[in-house]
């Protein structure tokens, strides 16, 4: 049973959080806690200057264990003109704690020191609820008529099997752009800690073990969909449906969108031509297909690496490898990028990089085949993309440089020579230095951009810093890594985690832009929401009118906005690939 003082503090904090507009002083901590050997910081936000601020670290019994002198933090964000910071990294005793500010009776939320729970399983559980074809959450079949092909080698409106995959982001569209990366992250998380994942559901996602970790059940679901989108050696489809889907909240099996064949009927399946596409006013940009072909090839190659170790899935693994090689050559013959398609609105995935995806595929295929041409190609593509990343920019278009980490560099580091390893880690270091430079401009120590899906970028920084440490052994960027994790877990202006129901008993996204919430009033644990936007972007988003007064109005910085309101799809929408972006971080920091 929890200590009564901790319960009292939780109640006290939940009550005072409702009255925070009356409080001139607030304390910010990572609501999920701090891994034992990671950096640890706490912030004080104040409307007035505080003389000699001292924070008392207290345990479950209310005993003061340490006192920390806080120092002023530069570059404060309104509405609080004063910030004070304390570093307690040296404190490593596992347990539950809270901070108290002097004699002011201002207390922080309760937090832990120690490894994180296995929250990656909750993220996998969220991804499972996004399945299309058969949805284990609703226990109903959906979108059984996906779909009819367009722009492809077959006549328009030819029937093609594109059932399966995952719904993308609070709606029922399906994209290879994001689905491929989601699948890859599931596979990489398993490779990181293969013996730490549970087996509680079967292949359909229903309760019942099947001798395959749930993370691989989900990865296999993604791999099977990629294989369907590649029905022959020279074909690749990249998107099912478009924004005609956006007709209010509905359950997947109650689809009301009409693409010309009646509601809950056929949907378009777009062929990757490498040329601009669109069936209405808005056209995507495209110069090739190498981003989609390369990333899908890398993902299928990862699938081979994992499933070849399971006797009953060896044939499936070989199928993945064959398709991976076909897609690689497709990408090599059509270098360039294919973007997502829109129909009635200007919003789409605007990816315009591709060499990183081909590098990733080539390195993965070299690892399997040992064919030197793949290693040679990987090196060539690595030089093309170099250190080019959103991390080098002050802003970027929506998903412009996706995925948000160059996994090709990491894959080449894994298989390359000592020279390759040095060059790949140097690319990562260069990117991280740019983020670190921006992180000095605010009290939270974060340096990602506040474009649409900014939380994906925060997670990407943390992951790249984590991988850099693996590549070099250097802990130089641990503070940068932890600051971005802190941001996602509540050490931010709103004192709210950005992950639904994680951590438990904390302020987390509730009123999300998701049909299961709007229809069932049930929250799905483990999803990362889009996150705060620059105000200059937020005010221009189409169709956003809050459904109720902003509960964070008194905490909103002037330059960025975050709303826990289902009507704000731009900051409050749980995303498939954004959630997958968390997997490597949570796996790395979790209990074994």
Give one DSSP letter per residue of 336-385, joined into a string: S-B----SSSS--------HHHHHHHHHHHHHHH--HHHHHHHHHHHHHH
Q: What is the pLDDT of residue 358?
A: 98
Residue 89 is predicted with a pLDDT of 98
3-state secondary structure of 302: helix
Of 268, 267, 286, 266, the C-alpha closest to 276 is: 286
* Cβ contacts of 231 within 8 Å, gap of 6 or more: 160, 161
For residue 246, what are the contacts with CB-CB under 8 A and spacing of at least 6? 171, 257, 344, 345
pLDDT tens sequence for the chain (592 residues): 334 444 444 444 444 443 444 579 999 999 999 999 999 999 999 999 999 999 999 999 999 999 999 999 989 999 999 999 999 999 999 999 999 998 668 999 999 999 999 999 999 999 999 999 999 999 999 999 999 999 999 999 999 999 999 999 889 999 999 999 999 999 999 999 999 999 999 999 999 999 999 999 999 999 999 999 999 999 999 999 999 998 899 999 999 999 999 999 999 999 999 999 999 989 999 999 999 999 999 999 999 999 999 999 999 999 999 999 999 999 999 999 999 999 988 889 999 999 999 999 999 999 999 999 999 999 999 999 999 999 999 999 999 999 999 999 999 999 999 999 999 999 999 999 999 999 999 999 999 999 999 999 999 999 999 999 999 999 999 999 999 999 999 999 999 999 999 999 999 999 999 999 999 999 999 999 999 999 999 999 988 999 999 999 999 999 999 999 999 999 999 999 999 999 999 999 998 7
- Structural element, H or E, at residue 57: strand 54-58
Q: What is the pLDDT of residue 580?
A: 96
Tokens linked to 54: 């001292």
First to last CA, the chain: 24
Count of residues for the chain? 592
pLDDT at residue number 22: 53
User: Following DSSP, what letter does each residue of 413-481 receive, concatenated?
Assistant: HHHS-HHHHHHHHHHHHHHHHHHHHHHTTSTT------STTHHHHHHHHHHHHHHHHHHH---TTHHHH
Residue written as token pair 């003109």: 81
Contact 360, 408 (CB under 8 A): yes
Ramachandran area for residue 429 (φ above 0: left; ψ -120 to 50: alpha; else beta): alpha
pLDDT score, position 217: 98
DSSP 267: E
Long-range contacts of 99-102 (CB under 8 A, 24+ apart): 99/27, 99/29, 99/42, 99/55, 99/56, 99/57, 99/58, 100/55, 100/56, 100/58, 101/25, 101/27, 101/44, 101/53, 101/54, 101/55, 101/56, 102/53, 102/54, 102/55, 102/56
Q: SS3 of 561, please?
A: strand
Contact 39, 53 (CB under 8 A): no
Task: Report pLDDT for 192.
Answer: 97
Per the CB < 8 A criterion, the answer to whether 589 and 115 are in contact is yes
Q: Is the dihedral of CA 214, 220, 223, 229 positive or negative?
A: negative
């Amino acid at each position: 049973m929890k200590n009564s003082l901790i319960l009292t503090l939780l109640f006290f904090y939940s009550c005072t959080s409702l009255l925070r507009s009356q409080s001139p002083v607030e304390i910010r901590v990572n609501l999920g806690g701090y891994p034992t050997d990671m950096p640890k910081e706490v912030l004080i936000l104040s409307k007035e200057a505080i003389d000699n601020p001292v924070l008392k670290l207290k345990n479950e019994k209310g005993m003061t264990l340490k006192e920390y002198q806080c120092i002023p933090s530069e570059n404060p964000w309104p509405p609080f003109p004063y910030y004070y910071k304390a570093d307690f990294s040296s404190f490593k005793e596992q347990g539950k704690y809270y901070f108290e500010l002097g004699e002011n009776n201002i207390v922080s939320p309760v937090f832990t020191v120690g490894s994180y729970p296995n929250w990656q399983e909750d993220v996998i559980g969220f991804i499972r609820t996004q399945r299309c074809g058969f949805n284990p959450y609703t226990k109903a079949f959906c979108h059984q008529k996906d779909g009819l092909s367009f722009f492809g080698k077959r006549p328009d409106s030819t029937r093609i099997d594109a059932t399966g995959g995952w719904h993308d982001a609070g709606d029922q569209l399906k994209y290879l752009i994001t689905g491929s990366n989601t699948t890859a992250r599931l596979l990489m998380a398993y490779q990181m800690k293969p013996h730490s994942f549970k087996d509680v559901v079967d292949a359909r996602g229903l309760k019942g073990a099947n001798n395959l970790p749930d993370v691989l059940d989900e990865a296999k679901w993604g791999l099977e969909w990629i294989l369907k989108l590649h029905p022959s050696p020279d074909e690749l489809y990249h998107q099912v449906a478009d924004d005609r889907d956006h007709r209010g909240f509905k359950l997947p099996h109650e689809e009301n969108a009409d693409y010309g064949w009646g509601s809950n009927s056929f949907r378009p399946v777009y062929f990757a031509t490498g040329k601009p596409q669109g069936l209405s006013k808005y056209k995507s940009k495209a110069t090739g297909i190498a981003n989609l072909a390369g990333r899908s090839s890398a993902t299928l190659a990862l699938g081979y690496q994992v499933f070849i170790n399971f006797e009953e899935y060896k044939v499936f693994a070989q199928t993945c490898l064959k398709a991976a090689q076909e897609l690689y050559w497709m990408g090599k013959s059509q270098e360039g990028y294919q973007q997502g398609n829109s129909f009635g609105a200007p919003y789409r995935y605007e990816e315009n990089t591709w060499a990183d995806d081909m590098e990733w595929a080539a390195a993965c295929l070299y690892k399997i085949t040992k064919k030197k041409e793949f290693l040679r190609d990987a090196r060539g593509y690595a030089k093309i993309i170099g250190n080019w990343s959103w991390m080098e920019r002050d802003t970027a278009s929506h998903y412009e440089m996706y995925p948000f980490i160059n996994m090709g560099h990491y894959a080449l580091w894994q298989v390359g020579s000592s020279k390759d390893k040095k060059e790949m880690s140097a690319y990562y270091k260069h990117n991280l230095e740019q983020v670190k430079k921006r992180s000095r401009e605010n009290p939270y120590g974060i340096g990602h951009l506040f474009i649409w899906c900014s939380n994906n970028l925060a997670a990407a920084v943390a992951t790249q810093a984590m991988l850099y440490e693996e590549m070099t052994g250097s802990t130089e960027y641990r503070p940068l890594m932890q600051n971005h994790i802190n941001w996602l877990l509540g050490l931010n202006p709103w004192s709210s985690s950005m992950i639904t129901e994680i951590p438990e008993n904390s302020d987390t996204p509730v009123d999300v832009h998701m049909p299961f919430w709007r229809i069932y009033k049930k929250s799905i644990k483990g999803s990362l929401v889009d996150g705060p936007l620059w105000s200059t972007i937020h005010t221009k988003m189409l169709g956003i009118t809050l459904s109720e007064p902003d509960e964070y109005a008194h905490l909103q910085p002037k330059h960025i906005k975050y709303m826990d309101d289902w009507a704000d799809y731009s900051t409050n929408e749980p995303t498939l690939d954004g959630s997958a972006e968390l997997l490597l971080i949570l796996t790395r920091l979790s209990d074994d």
